[in-house]
Structure 1
Amino acid sequence: MLDDERPPWGRAYGLYRATPPQGTRPSPHWSPAEKKIARRAFDQALQAALGRVMAEFKARASAASTSSQMWEIEDYLRRQRREIDEMFDYRYSQLIFVFARLIREGFLDENLLAGLSEEKRELVRSILSYAAKE
C-alpha cells in the first residue's frame, strides 16, 4: 500500500509502527458518561478473553497426561497472559485503538460502544476498515 493510500490518521497517529511515538495518537476528551460506557465495554471484553483462555486451559489440562504436556500448558498460559496484558490497555489515549483491536479479535461487539461520541466511534470504524484491507 502506498503512503498516499493510507488513511491520514495512520500517518499522524503512528499506526504504521509497532510502538507509535508519544504524543502522536488522538486523545479526545472523554465525558463521565463515555468513561462509564468505555469501562463497561472494556470489562466485558476482558471477561470474554479470559473466558476463552480459561476454556482452552481446562481442555488442555484435562487432556494432559505427561509432565511435558503440563509444562506446555504453563507456556501457553504465560503467552496468553502476556498477550492479554498487551491487548487490554485502559488508558484513554489508547482506548480507540484497543476497542478496534478487541472488535477485530472478536472480544467486543461494536454495539457496546453506543453512547460514545460519533467521532470516537468513527475512529474505531476507520481503524477496523484499514485493518480489514491489510
Structure 2
Amino acid sequence: MLLKDFYTVNKLAVANNQATANITINKDHDVFKGHFPGNPVTPGVCMMQIIKELSEQIVEKALFMESSTNVKFMAIINPEKTPDLELTLDISETDEGYKVKNVTKFEDTVALKLSTTFKIK
C-alpha cells in the first residue's frame, strides 16, 4: 500500500472478470490535513492508486499504469461523510497487461468512472 493506513479493504469478491471491493477511507489520515482542513476531499490520484492496488491484488502481479481514459470524477468523496465505498472493476487481459474499467460509488452515488490500461512490471 503506497499510503499506509489510507484505506481498509472490508470485502473483495472476484467472479469471472469482475471484482467488487468494499473499502473504508481513513478519515484521520494525514492526507486530509492538507486536502482540505475542515472540509476533507479524497484526492483523485489516491483513488486511482487504490484502483491500481486492488487490480494488483486481483491479478496477483505488479502493475504499472500505462494510460487512463474516461476519467470522470462525478462526486466529492468526503471521508467524514461517506468513507465507505464500493468499487467495481471489470478486468480483461491484454497482450501486455490488463485493461480495467472501474465504477466507484458511495451509497447510490457514482463518484468515479475510470478506464485504464496497466502493463505488467
TM band (smaller chain): under 0.3
Q: Which has the higher contact order (CA 8 A, sep 6+)?
A: 1
TM (norm. structure 1) is 0.24
TM (norm. structure 2) is 0.25
Q: Would you tell me which structure has more strand in proportion to its own residues? A: 2
